Structure 1
Amino acid sequence: MPEAPRTPVRAPAPATVPAAPTARTTRRQALVGGAATLGAVALGTAWSTEARADTAARPSGIGEPFTLGVASGDPFHSSVVLWTRLAPNPFAEDGLGGMPDRRVEVEWQVAEDEGFGRVVTSGTVETGPDAAHSVHVEAQGLRPGAEYFYRFRVGTEISQVGRTKTAPPPGMRLDRFSFAFASCQSYTSGHYTAQAHLADEDLDLVAFLGDYIYESGAQGGIGRGHIPQVEARTLTQYRIRHAQYKSDANLQAAHAAFPWAVVFDDHELENNWADEQSNGEDVSAEEFLRRRAQAMKAYYEHMPLRRAQRPDGPDLRLHRRLSFGDLVDMHMLDTRQYRDPQVGDSGHGDPSRTLLGAGQKQWLFEGLSSSRARWNVLAQQVFFSQRDFLDGEATNFSNDAWDGYRVERDEVRDRLARVRNGVVITGDVHANYVCDVKADFDAPESATVATELVGTSFTSGGDGADQNPGDAVQLRQNPHIRFINRKRGYVRNVVTPTEWTVDYRIVDYVSEPGAPISDRARFVIDDGVAGVRAQG
């Protein structure tokens, strides 16, 4: 049943920022929000006694700096990334968030308790206009598998309090790992109700699989139009667009509740882009790479990513590996930067075509070969399993998904078949799917070698439906597809040594705030048995 609405937790917003939608305060939000409230009073006083005289006041000429919230990400067993961005006026036309054109010192703390009575590490970093006054701290020396709380300060202004958690060390016995994965949160398509519910889950990690922002100038029909009202192409425009998304109170609550591991898909730059090629405009590779560099820089500035992911011009190494004890190795993939351009069905079988690029593919195969984890997860963007959209002998496959790179997909599938418990998690298509990954997709009777779990969008596509009329054809033509649902939400996963439990969590509408959340379906993957069994 839906919880009774209570006062939402939100960042203080400058007058120029449109009010974020009202969100119920959940158990996790109450924890984080309560600490944030104390942080402005009791904790602020305690921290002030430790301050140097030259940081005792707000930097001259700026307002409340923490309007975009806080976040953490990419947990290792002894460290985690902490993020914020100073932006008293996040929609300032120059993209610099209303900050002065100079560098500013930002203090940070990590504690074992939300009251910050047991601070375990702290420090000071500088940030400036070259980074849009974003802050990335790699907090070191933390205990493995431990919960921590963190906050930032500029002068006497103290941020909201975030909760994070380090990973257990690789190889250590782990009895339970819980995480959710999600994708596709078009600001103009819906309210962030699912993110509010996500903040109330009991999770170790959120994996976000792409389309964190949308580049278009769409205005939508629910009073949540994009700022600026044009397609983002420049660094300034991408910065403002990220700030607009980050200004939503529900998204801030979900970031403050857990560490996130993020990868991008296409809309962080442009719809269906591929490597050096635009999909929608006739521009040179050089011109497109200039735009790509602007998008990558703004993306890094707004995400809790490590220094290893800092972009170099248009290049940002996003593929990386997160390990959680002896239970889960999560291989975060990038299916955009290295891919060959999309072609029609007749070219899908070309063995030279790549989605991953040679370097990333080698990295993935080496990681799968050396993994000793019980569950190996490919966290990636586009549909992995074969998906034919036409009835009968004629075929029609997606050019943008793995079907368009069939030979490499089958090579990855065959490598997954050699590891224990291969699971692919996917975003992009604004729908929930469950697929048996077959040894031969054209032979339904062939062995199931892995499982693909596809998650719906947070908002993209609007309210959605249980199924579309064409889904019956998909289920008939692709017997390895076990389930389709097109409501909005996220996928919750609880992983143990013996089984992986999957809950497809949905809201009935996003066109207005306040929808309750429910479990649409539950599936279980048993250790050592590829494929799923339905529960309930």
Structure 2
Amino acid sequence: MPDQNPPADHSRRRFLRDSAVTTVTTAAALASPAALSATPAAPAIVTSERLRPQLPGGVMSGDVTRDSAILWARADRNARMLVEYSTSGNFSNPVRIAGPTALAREDYTARVDLRDLPAGQRLYYRVRFQDLVHESALSEPLTGSLMMPASAHGQARDITFAFSGDEAGQGWGINEQWGGYRVYESMRRFRPDFFIHSGDQIYADGPIQAEVKLDDGSLWRNVVTEAKSKVAQTLDDYRGNFAYNMLDANKRRFAAEVPFLVQWDDHEVRNNWYPGQEIGAAEKRYDERNIDVLAARARQAMFEHNPFRIDSADPFRIYRSFNHGPLLEVFMLDERSYRGRNSPNRQKGGHDADFLGPEQMRWIKQALLRSRSTWKLIASDMPLSIVVPDLNPDVPKGTFEAWANADNGKPSGRELEVAELLRFIKQHDIKNVVWVTADVHYASATHYAPERAQFTDFKPFWEFVGGPINAGTFGPGEIDRTFGPDVRFVSIPADMKQNRSPAELLQFFGIGKIDAKSKTLTVTLHNTDGKEIYKVELPPEA
């Protein structure tokens, strides 16, 4: 399906042409650094701090697959990105790359797409920026590392991954006195090979104030910026929301060590948005009321501020897959760009019942069918059976935001797509499919089985919910019984007061570990400081 939301300020072709991306094929270069001898060595570092570019967002890697990775960084001015990397932590015989120029039109972001990388090894990298006017002026180097997946035919190794979502929501921002985004530091200690950010990377519709009074009378003190003092409407507003989260030291440290796989949900644009929506009169905060205009600006900012690999055929495509060798393949869904309007969600078919849309549905079916990895991990930005009502002031009561419609009956509305995909998985005997998600601001573990379901044509499977990373804690939500969910664990009490602050340590993430010998997937859920609160071992289906 063609993208329905072309950018308000750039056409697709211009965005693709102007994107600050360099693709580097490096297998030969790694074996022989002389292969890049045309790339000049970095000039001597000058000492004038005024002349040196700065890197306010640190460095990140992402979209890692078996032989490639994106390196990302953001400067504070027009500057040239310079990259060195090596399989040695002391950077002996590094590959040097003169990367793209970070320009104001991309909010000074830049990335390098490394190809033909060595499988199964840790890659160390170092990033600097060179001032365009004073060429001898270099930023201080920032270093990072990432673990490359095993090759398809090589020896498998243990895999560890993390998942969560929901960041800087409900007015709970970066509180440096409390320790900032502590979940990122807790996840980092598990040394995951990659992190799945399941959406709500920002709360574009959630301004942050300097102080929030807690129930005990104490104050939660936020770092504040101009962009986070209002709802986001302009491109620069959305950019400022993404830049805000990179002010957190924990996130910058985590991002330098753990590759990101990111998707979006609603708060990257506005609560519970869908394509074609007009913001109603009951919502007073917005001057721009066309959601497609806002979504286009948000999408551009999201691509600029994340280590996305841009698809030349569809530069705004968010759904994609990542092969991590013989043990694991990850499938990232996009449940925003192609959905129909939010409604009572009881349709018998038609566009309004779309959630993935026809083209994405064809893609996920064929991608699962082609996969030869033991485990197939589907990252959904919304849970399957937790009922999520749309409570915006400009929509009628009884409108639903997620897959479930709360009728506990045969599939209807968006549930028709779930049934279609689950039936396909069963018909083709696709084994070891697990779902991870976030969105609802608490953690849970749910097992689905046909003997408990209204729709029975599927294989049993698990779904795990993480989050929030740093936002208000809510729930637990109502459960729709259509697909036979058995909720094995919920991280919060049933009678909890809503919108609990991060200070109560009710922030959550998940860790998955695949043992290379047994191929068993162990999933654990953890609280703010990393304490294990749930564990299940899943042996692979033969």
Of 400-409 and 270-279, more deviation after overlay is shown by: 270-279
Q: Which residue of 1 aligns with 2:207?
A: 218
Provide the residue aligned with 2:35 in structure 1. none
Measure, in 1, the Cα distance between the counterparts of 2:280 and 2:71: 35
Q: Which of 164, 179, 183 in structure 2 is aligned with 1:194?
A: 183
Contact 1:271 1:280 in 2 (8 A): no
Gaps of 5+ in 1: 1-48, 88-98, 390-395, 508-515, 530-536
The Cα shift of 1:449 comes to: 1.9
Is the Cα contact below 8 Å between 2:61 and 2:255 reproduced in 1? yes
Residue equivalent to 1:393: none
2-side partners of 1:216 and 1:444: how far apart? 37
Matches within 5 A, 1:81-92: 81-87=70-76
CA contact (8 A) 1:66 1:159 kept: no
Q: Residue 457 of structure 1: CA displacement?
A: 1.0
Please give the alpha-carbon distance, in whole angstroms, between the structure 2 residues aligned to 1:235 and 1:164.
31
After superposition, residues 380-459 of structure 1 pair within 5 angstroms as: 380-385=380-385, 387=387, 399-403=400-404, 405-417=414-426, 418-439=429-450, 442-443=453-454, 449-459=460-470
Letter in 2 for 1:306: R
* SS of corresponding position for 1:74: strand
| Corresponding residue number in structure 1 for 2:11 | none
2-structure distance, mates of 1:442, 1:263:
29
Aligned positions of 1:298-309 closer than 5 A: 298-308=301-311
Change (3 A) 1:203 1:425: same
Q: Does the CA contact (< 8 Å) of 1:179 and 1:204 recur in 2?
A: yes
CA displacement at 1:307 relative to structure 2: 2.6
The aligned counterpart of 2:17 is: none
The answer for the alignment partner of 1:392 in structure 2 is none
| Preserved contact between residue 438 and residue 450 of structure 1 (Cα < 8 Å) | yes
Q: Specify the alignment match of 1:176 in structure 2.
A: 158
Residue-by-residue CA offset, 1:69-88 (whole Å, 9 max, x unaligned): 1000011222210000002x
Partner SS state of residue 268, structure 1: coil
| Structure 2 CA distance for partners of 1:449 and 1:474, relative to 1, 3 Å | closer
Q: 1:62 to 1:334 in 2, by over 3 A?
A: farther
User: Per-residue deviation at 1:104?
Assistant: 2.3
* Alpha-carbon shift at residue 340 of structure 1 (Å): 0.5
Q: Pick closer, same or farther for the CA change 1:145–1:249 going to 2, 3 Å.
A: same
Aligned 8 A contact 1:426 1:453 in 2: yes
What letter matches 1:179 in structure 2? Answer: F
Selected match of 1:73 from 62, 66, 76: 62
TM-score by length of 1: 0.75
Q: Compared with structure 1, are the counterparts of its residues 407 and 474 closer, same or farther at alpha carbon in structure 2 (3 Å cutoff)?
A: closer
Q: Specify the alignment match of 2:522 in structure 1.
A: 501
Aligned partner (choices 46, 51, 59) of residue 42 of structure 2: 51
For 2:325, the aligned partner's letter is G
Pick closer, same or farther for the CA change 1:351–1:311 going to 2, 3 Å: closer
- SS of 1:491's equivalent in the other structure is strand
Amino acid across the alignment from 1:461: G
Contact 2:41–2:96 (Cα < 8 Å) also in 1: no
Which structure 2 segments of 5+ residues have no match?
A: 1-39, 130-136, 174-179, 213-219, 390-396, 405-412, 493-505
TM-score (norm 2): 0.74
1:227 Cα offset (Å): 3.4
1:293 is aligned, of 293, 296, 300, to 296
**Residues 350 and 69 of structure 1: CA distance in aligned 2, closer, same or farther (over 3 Å):** same
> How many angstroms apart in 2 are the aligned matches of 1:360 and 1:256?
31
Cα deviation digits, residues 167-203 of structure 1 (max 9, x gap) = 2223544242110011001163254011111122221
**Quick one: distance in 2 between partners of 1:244 and 1:303?**
13
Q: 1:128 to 1:449 in 2, by over 3 A?
A: same
Q: Which residue of 1 aligns with 2:536?
A: 523
In the TM superposition, what is the alpha-carbon distance from 1:385 to its structure 2 partner? 3.0
Query: Counterpart amino acid of 1:425?
Result: V
Shift of 1:217: 4.3
Alignment RMSD, CA only?
3.2
Indicate conservation of the 8 Å contact 1:272/1:279, yes or no: no
